Amino acid sequence: MSSDASAGVRQAVRVHRSIAEIGREAWQDCADAPDYGANPFVGYDFLEALEASGCVGERAGWEPVHLSVEDEAGVVAGVMPLYVKSHSQGEYVFDHGWANAYERAGGRYYPKLQCSVPFTPVTGPRLIARPEHRDAVQDVLLAGALQLCRNLRASSLHVTFPTEAEWRKLGDAGLLLRQDQQFHWENRGYASFDDFLAALSSSRRKTIRRERREAQEGLEIVALSGPELTEAHWDAFFAFYMDTGSRKWGRPYLNRRFFSLLHERMADKVLLVMARSHGRWIAGALNLMGAHTLYGRNWGALEHRPFLHFELCYYQAIEQAIARGLSRVEAGAQGEHKIARGYLPSPVYSAHYIADRALRVPVADYLEQERRAVQADMTVLEAEYSPFRDS
């Protein structure tokens, strides 16, 4: 497949049916750019583990069609995690309404193309390129994705959770822009959890201390990473994940093999917070670590304990971020209840190419209204509900 040539970039864009076709070294040469912050989700190891475990693949409705582009020396200069989708599950940017409306009108919404990290609502680079000629490489990758969309007669291309800079670039290229919000914690130079509490209002300090006391009562809570992790820990965590995921989603996305591969390849980037009662593991929260950010991903519990979710997913994450010198905690999608725990609104982005004007025009109108509503909501939430004394 070809696209318009750009300075320093070869014209050919290659389509790969697995990330292994690109190779770890070539992918990481792009993903390890210093300004990407060692984002673990766009690394080769995480994405390949999804494929090797069968969580991602044609049978799962996530068929890899990753793109790569080479520089003039024949070295891979940019890559794009890209999938052909036969459904809209596991994306966290919801387009079910668009699909239903289009198909009721006689259109065919699937297949579509999805540029994302499967099952992972975490912002990170999507047009992943080495710093040299980055703009040109990103242009070629986007042109290649749009051409592939036409070749496959897909209804649309969706780029979800890109960086803000990529989002603006995609808008300049004519894609429709969407904005939503998550709730993130920022490290303001705290030396301890008590330092963080001191920045809150008196009532919030008291509430958080009470929640932590009640959550921790009778439990042993440990944070495990690297060589501290064992397959027994993953056996326990998978049981939590399956129980909670089955009740929440109907069918959890990740299988047991994936967690073994995560352990094998990325244990140093994993932080698993586990709770034990009378020698038995009863709950856990999975986090991954980048250079500056702790990313909360999955949680589960076999027993209901008051405030245990807040303790393992939010308060322990803050404690660990402070102890490890990390500047940010991203605690996943949704959840206005996080504001009272120190996690404030933060924008997240997506961009959408829709081939058929009959669908594109109403979606564009909707997204314009939605962006205004989201921005207004973020302003009100932080102004009215922030727990910080200086708000």
| 52-78 average pLDDT score | 96
| 121-125 average pLDDT score | 98
Do 39 and 170 lie in one domain? The reply is yes
| 202-228 average pLDDT score | 98
Do 213 and 119 lie in one domain? The reply is no
| 359-370 average pLDDT score | 98
pLDDT above 90 as % of the chain = 92
Q: Is residue 76 part of a domain?
A: yes
| 213-238 average pLDDT score | 98
Do 353 and 313 lie in one domain? The reply is no
Provide the mean pLDDT of the chain: 95
CA distances from 172 to 134, 142, 143, 176, 328 (A): 16, 12, 13, 9, 29
pLDDT(52) > 70: yes
Do 13 and 124 lie in one domain? The reply is yes
| 86-114 average pLDDT score | 97
Q: Is residue 202 part of a domain?
A: yes
Residue predicted with more confidence, 245 or 15: 15
Amino acid at 341: R
| 358-368 average pLDDT score | 98
Do 40 and 169 lie in one domain? The reply is yes
**CATH code, domain carrying 212:** 3.40.630.30
Do 197 and 170 lie in one domain? The reply is no
Range of the domain at 258: 188-326
Do 196 and 249 lie in one domain? The reply is yes
Q: Is residue 337 part of a domain?
A: no
Segment among 26-35, 237-246, 286-295 with least mean pLDDT? 237-246
What pLDDT score does 93 carry?
A: 96
How confident is the model over 303-341, as pLDDT tens digits?
A: 999 999 999 999 999 999 999 999 999 998 888 999 999
Number of structural domains found in the chain: 2
pLDDT(360) > 70: yes
pLDDT(7) > 90: no
How confident is the model over 131-166, as pLDDT tens digits?
A: 998 999 999 999 999 999 999 999 999 999 999 999
For 160-255, where are the alpha helices, taking DSSP H only?
A: 164-172, 193-198, 202-216, 231-249
CA distances from 377 to 238, 279, 347, 351, 371 (A): 36, 45, 11, 20, 10
Do 166 and 213 lie in one domain? The reply is no
pLDDT(121) > 50: yes
Do 200 and 99 lie in one domain? The reply is no
In three-state secondary structure terms, 146 is helix
What pLDDT score does 244 carry?
A: 80
- In sign, the C-alpha dihedral spanning 116, 226, 20, 237 is negative
Do 107 and 58 lie in one domain? The reply is yes
Q: Is residue 335 part of a domain?
A: no
Q: Is residue 241 part of a domain?
A: yes
DSSP state letter for 311:
I
Strand pairing category for 62-64 and 220-224:
unpaired
pLDDT(4) > 50: no
Do 195 and 74 lie in one domain? The reply is no
pLDDT above 70 as % of the chain = 96
Q: Is residue 1 part of a domain?
A: no
Do 122 and 241 lie in one domain? The reply is no
How confident is the model over 271-310, as pLDDT tens digits?
A: 999 999 999 999 999 999 999 999 999 999 999 999 999 9
What pLDDT score does 2 carry?
A: 47
Q: Is residue 339 part of a domain?
A: no
Residues in the chain: 391
The values of phi and psi at residue 146, to 5°, are -65, -40
Q: Is residue 68 part of a domain?
A: yes
Could you tell me the pLDDT band of residue 247, with boundaries at 50, 70 and 90?
Answer: low
